[in-house]
């Protein structure tokens, strides 16, 4: 059985073929499995790539580490009853996952676009530091910028979701954004019909989305590593979920 991911993402909030509590419990198993696989690769110092994949790995590895370590942070927050407050963390995991897939699929095109976008952001920060009268750190410079036709894909996150025809993922991204940024919706997060609440009223089911992101990131990393390092963990995850969840693919339109 294969799922594209949309049903599981929606199921974490509205019901799918699995009870939400069961789905969240399995998501926790998936997160534990894949974070352990990440730890094993790091501990064994096996994060190497074939020569043709070195450029992609240098970018993807850092984001993969961020995704996994941020997932650990989410589990710690959930255990402390603070999953709602970890919404910025979940949103970042989703954004980094899509960017990682983009680099995996587009290779040098994506890497060149990311570098061009970084120079633009660095130049903006440099100008803001000068205008504010702040000392400029040595690693912040104003380099000559070169417009890259694809750099807006990374500068404007919505374009990355469009590039992957991943509207079913943009919905939770937008929903999380209402709690990441000050908003009218975010202000209601601690309100009930009876008044004020000490606990958040939003269901804490974000771990399903994080589990999918971890799995897709692992699949992408497995294609650039030298050696078959993550296949066993990916297979165990499919057994836990009782389905194979296809990762987002570049849009053909």
Model pLDDT for residues 128-151, shown as the tens digit of each residue: 999 999 999 988 888 776 778 787
Residue 91 lies in a domain: yes
Give the integer Cα–Cα distance in Å for 226 and 161.
Answer: 29
Mean pLDDT of 8-25: 68
Mean pLDDT for the chain overall: 87
pLDDT at 182 over 80: yes
Task: In whole angstroms, give the CA distance from residue 85 to residue 77.
Answer: 8
* Strands 2-3 vs 191-192: parallel, antiparallel or unpaired: unpaired
> What pLDDT does residue 211 have?
96
Query: Which is nearest to 32 in space by CA: 211, 190, 156?
Result: 211
Domain for residue 23, yes or no?
A: yes
pLDDT at 245: 83
Within a domain: residue 65?
Answer: yes
Give the rounded percent of residues in the chain with a pLDDT score beyond 70.
91
Q: What is the DSSP letter of 49?
A: B
Q: Is residue 128 part of a domain?
A: no
DSSP state of 53: G
Residue with tokens 């958040």, as numbered in its chain: 200
Structure confidence at residue 156 as a pLDDT band (50, 70, 90): confident
The yes-or-no verdict on residue 227 having pLDDT over 90 is no
Domain assignment of residue 62, yes or no: yes
Q: Is the pLDDT of residue 10 over 50?
A: yes
Q: What is the DSSP letter of 3?
A: E
Q: Determine how many CB atoms are found less than 10 A away from the CB of residue 146.
A: 11
Each residue of 58-75: b (16+ CB within 10 Å) or e? ebbbebbebbbebbeebb
Q: Is residue 89 part of a domain?
A: yes
| pLDDT 10s digits, 91-121 | 999 999 999 999 999 999 999 999 888 888 8
* Residue 2 scores a pLDDT above 70: no
Could you tell me the residue range of the domain that residue 221 belongs to?
Answer: 2-104+167-186+201-245
Entry pTM: 0.89
5 or 83: which leads in pLDDT: 83
Residue 111 lies in a domain: no
Helix (H) or strand (E) holding 12: helix 6-14
Domain count, the chain: 1
Once rounded to an integer, what is the mean pLDDT over residues 54-70?
A: 94
How far are the Cα atoms of 97, 152, 206, 210 from residue 28, in angstroms, in the given order? Answer: 18, 34, 10, 9
| 41-46 average pLDDT score | 84
For position 7, what pLDDT does the model report?
A: 60
In 3-state terms, what secondary structure has residue 29?
helix
Residue 109 within a domain: no
């Amino acid at each position: 059985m294969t799922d594209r991911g949309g049903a599981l993402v929606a199921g974490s909030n509205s019901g799918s073929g699995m009870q939400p509590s069961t789905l969240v419990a399995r998501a926790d198993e998936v997160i534990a499995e894949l974070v352990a696989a990440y730890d094993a690769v790091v501990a064994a110092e096996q994060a190497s790539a074939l020569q043709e994949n070195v450029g992609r790995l240098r970018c993807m590895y850092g984001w993969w580490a961020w995704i996994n370590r941020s997932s650990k942070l989410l589990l710690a927050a959930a255990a402390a009853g603070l999953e709602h407050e970890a919404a910025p963390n979940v949103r970042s995991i989703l954004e980094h996952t899509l960017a990682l897939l983009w680099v995996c699929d587009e290779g040098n095109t994506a890497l060149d676009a990311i570098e061009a976008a970084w120079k633009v952001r660095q130049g903006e920060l440099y100008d803001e530091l000068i205008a504010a009268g702040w000392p400029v750190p040595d690693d912040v410079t104003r380099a000559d910028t070169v417009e890259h036709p694809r750099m807006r894909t990374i500068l404007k996150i919505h374009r990355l979701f469009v590039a992957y025809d991943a509207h079913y993922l943009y919905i939770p991204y937008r929903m999380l954004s209402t709690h990441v940024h000050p908003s009218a919706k975010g202000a209601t997060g601690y309100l009930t019909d009876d008044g004020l609440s000490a606990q958040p009223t939003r269901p804490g089911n974000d771990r399903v989305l994080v589990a999918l992101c971890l799995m897709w990131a692992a699949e992408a990393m497995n294609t650039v590593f030298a050696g078959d390092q993550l296949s066993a963990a990916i297979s165990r995850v499919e057994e836990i979920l009782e389905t194979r969840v296809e990762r987002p693919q570049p849009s053909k339109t």
